[in-house]
Amino acid sequence: MLIKELKYDVALVKLHSLDAISTFISILQKIIDDFGHAATENHTLVSTRGDALVNVLSPLVRMIRRIISQVVQVRKTGKPMTQEDTNVC
């Protein structure tokens, strides 16, 4: 179980180093631009389009949250992530 968690942590570090947060946020911004008027047209979210929207939003938000949580945790400990930390697996 520890190896699997380390693999996820390494993947998150690599995503963060590739500036994936800004990419994820730009994807979210495009979705907001398309669905910003959903309060007046909520019938579009009750279809397969709504299901697809949830299937995109949920993983994006979870990954952003995990990346930010990992950055905060590293900053609290004061130990910088090194190349050896990212080459665990």
- Residue-by-residue pLDDT tens, the chain, 89 positions: 566 666 777 787 787 788 888 888 898 898 888 777 656 666 666 778 778 888 988 988 988 888 888 888 877 876 655 545 544 43
Residues in CB range of 50: below 8 A, 6 or more apart: 44
Residue in 5, 3, 2 with CA at minimum distance from that of residue 70:
5
**Which residue has tokens 């990419």?**
23
Q: For 75, what's the count of Cα atoms within 13 Å in the CB-facing half-sphere?
A: 6
Reported pTM: 0.63
Tokens of 3: 């190896």
Among the listed residues 51, 71, 62, the one whose alpha carbon sits nearest the alpha carbon of residue 28: 62
